[in-house]
Amino acid sequence: MHKWYEAPGIDRDVVFASRIRMVRNLSDLPFPVRMSASDRERVCLRVEKALSAVPDLAWTAAFLDEQEPGQAVSLVERQLCSAEFIAEPQGRAVFYMHDESLCVLVNGIDHVSMQGIASGSALPDVLNRVNTLDTVLDRTLRFAFHTQLGYLTQRLDALGTGLQPSVLLFLPALQQGGAVEQLSGDVAQLGFSLRGLFDSAIDPAGACYELTNRISFGISEADAVKNLLSISGQLCTRERQARAAFLQTEEAQDAVGRALAVLASARALEFSEFLRLYASVRMGVCAGQIGGVRVEQLDSLLFAVEPATLLQRAGKPLSAAQQQERRAQFCGAVLSAASFLPGV
């Protein structure tokens, strides 16, 4: 079964992925902050039963208090949940489809958090999928709803639609030019946040960011998505302009060529070094300066070599040195046919 990030997507050169999160609470139980252990168990059982009745969808269940630490961290690396979610595993669960494009978190800040994700710019399509799942689950779970306030949530910023749309962006040229910090402040004034995907730094390794619409109350789902698409479209334009100028320089072409050479031939790679090189190679692939490899292959490689996921795929303990060697082997296999095309 292919994963969502293996599929091509619109604007994939800048928009890594589109994500919709939607939170709900059951109307007949206290909010998670006031629930007992037995309440948490009841929510898990009811959600599991409701999901089993969803037609044409098969779910894998990960109950966090039964997961090894590495298994739980791998869920975070694969964008199925947050580090905060796995920090308190008691009574929490993640249900996800085999391609990991849909998942449901249970007993986090809210009883239920549905997430849909797809490659490239695809927010309307992802919203439709999550809305369909929401409708089906509401028939049996009966989500808490107020006629004036909308869906009732633990946090005030989610009240109303319970919707949080976001896009994952690849912004290496804007990062290299030092523009991201200013952009982060600009979008914050409009109700959006721009933060690193793998860490919250302004200049994260890998140049991957998440742009999120933080406004839920008093706005329709369609407008929330429309506003996010407007802002992300402006960032895409600025990134492409900055990238076109930067890639004309000898400095940039040298960085792209060196990064490809190291990733393709290294004997050992730490993940932080991989992320730095990945950003240069991905930029080169998107600009046509590297041939013989597709951007979907690079993004699949990214998910394959993250630390916890790498160990899970190995199926056995690995020393730090063995992990670095295995990561380099994955890179070499994916980039074996890649070639640098200077001056393109």
Domain termination site, one of 218, 243, 268: 243
Q: Which pLDDT does position 292 carry in this prediction?
A: 96
Of the pLDDT bands very low, low, confident and very high (cuts 50, 70, 90), residue 308 is very high
pLDDT, average across residues 280-289: 96
How confident is residue 8, by pLDDT bands cut at 50, 70 and 90?
very high
Say yes or no: 120 and 157 in one domain.
yes
Instruction: Please indicate, yes or no, whether residues 14 and 117 belong to a single structural domain of this protein.
Output: yes
Q: Are residues 260 and 223 in the same domain?
A: no
Q: Is the pLDDT of residue 20 over 70?
A: yes
What is the CATH classification number for the domain harbouring 194?
A: 3.30.590.10
55-63 average pLDDT score: 92
Q: Could you say which of 243, 268, 293 is where a domain stops?
A: 243
Q: Distance between CA 152 and CA 167 in Å, rounded?
A: 25
What's residue 132's pLDDT? 95
Question: For 233-245, what is each residue's pLDDT tens digit?
Answer: 999 999 999 999 9
Q: Is the pLDDT of residue 202 over 70?
A: no
Does this model's pTM top 0.75? My answer is yes
Q: Name residues whose C-beta falls within 8 Å of residue 294's C-beta, 6 or more positions apart in sequence.
A: 285
- Spatial separation of the C-alpha atoms in residues 3 and 263, rounded to whole Å: 23
Residue 171 lies in a domain: yes
The answer to whether 179 and 173 have CB atoms below 8 angstroms apart is no
Are 152 and 215 members of one domain?
A: yes
Residue 118 counted as domain residue: yes
206 and 228 housed in the same domain: yes
pLDDT of 344 > 60? The answer is: no
pLDDT tens digits for range 143-179: 999 999 999 999 888 889 999 999 999 999 999 999 9
Q: Which domain holds residue 327?
A: 250-340
The answer on 15 and 139 residing in a single domain is yes
Both 167 and 269 in a single domain?
A: no
pLDDT digits (tens, 9 = 90+) for 317-335: 999 999 999 999 999 999 9
Same domain, yes or no: 163 and 296:
no
pLDDT at 27 over 70: yes
Q: DSSP of 34-102, one letter per residue? A: G--HHHHHHHHHHHHHHHHTSTT--EEEEEGGGS-HHHHHHHHHTTSS-HHHHHS-TT-EEEEETTSSE
Q: Which amino acid is present at 268?
A: A
pLDDT reported for residue 194:
94
What average pLDDT does range 209-226 have in this prediction? Answer: 90
Average pLDDT estimate for 25-39:
94
pLDDT in tens, 244-280: 999 999 999 999 999 999 999 999 999 999 999 999 9
Farthest CA pair distance, the chain: 64
d(CA 252, CA 246): 6
Q: Does 166 fall in a domain? A: yes
Give the CA-trace dihedral at 125, 131, 136, 138, to 10 degrees: 170
Last residue of a domain, one of 220, 243, 266: 243
Residue with the larger pLDDT of the pair 215 and 319: 319
Per-residue confidence band for 205, with pLDDT thresholds at 50, 70 and 90: confident
Per the prediction, the chain carries an average pLDDT of 94
> Does residue 93 come out as left (phi exceeding 0), alpha (psi in the -120 to 50 range) or beta?
beta
Domain assignment present for 142: yes
pLDDT at 201: 63
Q: What percent of the chain has pLDDT over 90?
A: 90
**Does residue 1 fall inside a structural domain?**
no
- pLDDT grade, residue 218 (50/70/90)? confident
How would residue 106 be classed by pLDDT, with cut points 50, 70 and 90? very high
Tell me: do 162 and 39 sit in the same domain: yes
pLDDT digits (tens, 9 = 90+) for 81-98: 999 999 999 999 999 999
Q: Are 228 and 289 found together in one domain? A: no
User: Which H or E run includes 305?
Assistant: none
Number of domains into which the chain is organized: 2
The reply to whether 166 and 140 lie within a common domain is yes
Residue 259 shares a structural domain with residue 144: no
pLDDT at res. 328: 98
